[in-house]
A and B are shown apart, each in its own frame.
Chain A
């Protein structure tokens, strides 16, 4: 079964850091670009960051650029999101998502598999 399982969410103070993980199984992880998408409470979806198959190319939304770092460990089939300088507006459920096409450039593709999400709350 194709599956993504996020972990690492929690409560953190403004200015703090958190590292999210996403364990992938049931598909050839090394063949697919991956992304993080978040959803603030009661709000819509927002793409946060993406990474291509080898990890050498990464993309960020302007709202997180310079504060968040996406990475992947293909030997562990795991995607990461290091979040620094966290703000109240970063409070959201964070989903990891898999690109639909193999070896996509990560720009125009759909997300065909989503994890269940992990909640991040930034509050003092």
Chain B
């Protein structure tokens, strides 16, 4: 069981909006540590999608956005496309564990 909790799977139709949650605690997200998001296509390395809660690296479409509130964070994807079908991971830091953490991952299916 991951310290950062994500829904194992989600789905949406093309053009729809989906939001993936990442729930932590007072020793990680709630302590003010940044949340980052990654996209992993099948058989490839993860790709940074959102850093420091709500910042997009160069080249990431503005269909992807991040937010954080309290002990949780969310990744929103608007205008869902077939190419968005992938695994998504949140990441933060935990002061109790003195370790960088990943959420368990969410498999997004585009219907």
B-contacting residues of A (Cβ < 8 Å)? 35, 37, 44-47, 50, 59, 61-62, 95, 100, 107-112, 114-117
Contacts and interface: CB of A to CB of B under 8 A. Distances in A.
Contacts, number: 62
Interface of B: 2, 33-34, 36, 38, 40, 44-48, 51-52, 57, 87, 89, 91-93, 97-105
Contact of A47 (B34, B48, B100, B104): B100
Nearest to A107: B93
A67 B34 CA distance: 29
A45 B51 CA distance: 17
Contact of B104 (A44, A114, A117): A44
B46 A95 contact: yes
A50 B93 CA distance: 12
